[in-house]
């Protein structure tokens, strides 16, 4: 399972440029994931390649960002150039089977307006970027799940089928609805909907509460990455 590529494909930037083994990604500045360099190899002239990436983002008025996994040479080169390390992230994988959700979960193949508003109210760290975020989400086939009360989504998630695995994204619960098991029901509904042999998700290393939930559903940490920001 090449998680770097799975994440790239499940959260697609709508502008992508290849430079050797690197993919330069841009999506209006919404999320570092879709606005960073995915470095799939280390080029012979690493400094020149970094310069190309810096020019790419500078021309769009953005700071250059790299998603860095198991690439110590690249990580060291970026650190030497003054790039800050941010958002250490863990990758967790789990089984494809899942028990029945404990709550009724609505599942659609498109994000409806209330789903988007609920997700963005929790995860919308980028001001007015909801339109760009929706464009990213709908760039590939996916399912959108929510536990609702009176038509209002309280907990949401997104599942992306990718061959024999399912990528789980956009897990978010409104603050007033937490500690009620709603996220667990959303996760179970997505995994059951996917019907794949396995599932994976990513979460920040500091989010130990989310990791505890995912472990209780059979997920374990299998790797990780971080970002370097100029």
Q: How far apart are CA 157 and CA 102, in angstroms?
A: 15
**Does 136 fall in a domain?**
yes
pLDDT at position 126 over 70: no
Residues 53 and 101 both lie in one domain: no
Is 99 in the same domain as 195?
Answer: yes
3-state class of 137 per DSSP?
helix
Q: Looking at the structure, do residues 45 and 152 belong to the same domain, yes or no?
A: no
* Cα–Cα distance measured from residue 224 to residue 156, given in angstroms and rounded to the nearest whole number: 24
CA dist., res. 230 & res. 211, Å (int): 29
pLDDT bucket at 1, cuts 50 / 70 / 90: low
Residues 116 and 170 in one domain: yes
Distance in angstroms (rounded) separating the CA atoms of residues 64 and 83: 9
Count the Cβ atoms, other than its own, within 10 Å of residue 113.
8
User: Which of 54, 89, 124 is where one domain is finished?
Assistant: 89
Structural domain containing residue 85: 3-89
Tell whether the model's pLDDT for residue 228 goes beyond 80: yes
Which residue, 89, 104, 123, sits at the end of a domain? 89
Asked if residue 69 and residue 103 are part of one domain, the reply reads no
Tell whether 29 and 124 lie within a shared domain: no
Rg (CA), the chain: 18
Tens digits of residue pLDDT in 23-62: 999 998 888 999 999 999 999 999 999 999 999 999 999 9
Claim to verify: residue 67 and residue 129 sit in the same structural domain: no
> Minimal CA–CA distance to 217: which of 183, 194, 178, 193?
183
Helices marked H in 39-174 — which ranges?
Answer: 46-58, 72-80, 113-123, 130-137
């Amino acid at each position: 399972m090449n998680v770097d590529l799975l994440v790239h494909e499940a959260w697609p930037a709508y502008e992508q440029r290849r430079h050797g083994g690197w993919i330069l990604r841009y999506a209006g500045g919404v999320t570092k994931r879709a606005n960073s360099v995915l470095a799939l190899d280390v080029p012979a002239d690493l400094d020149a390649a970094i310069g190309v990436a810096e020019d790419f983002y500078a021309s769009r008025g953005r700071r250059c960002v790299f998603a860095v996994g198991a690439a110590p040479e690249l990580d060291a080169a970026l650190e030497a150039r003054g790039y800050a390390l941010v958002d250490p992230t863990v990758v967790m994988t789990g089984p494809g089977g899942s028990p029945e959700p404990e709550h009724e979960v609505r599942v659609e193949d498109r994000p409806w307006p209330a789903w988007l508003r609920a997700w963005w109210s929790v995860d919308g760290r980028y001001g007015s970027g909801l339109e760009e975020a929706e464009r990213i989400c709908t760039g590939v086939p996916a399912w959108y799940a929510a536990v609702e009360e009176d038509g209002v989504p309280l907990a949401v998630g997104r599942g992306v089928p990718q061959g024999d695995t399912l990528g789980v994204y956009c897990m978010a619960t409104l603050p007033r609805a937490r500690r009620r098991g709603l996220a667990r029901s959303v996760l179970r509904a997505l995994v059951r909907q996917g019907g794949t042999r396995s599932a994976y998700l990513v979460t920040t290393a500091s989010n130990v509460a989310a990791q505890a939930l995912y472990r209780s559903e059979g997920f374990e940490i299998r790797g990780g990455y971080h970002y370097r920001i100029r």
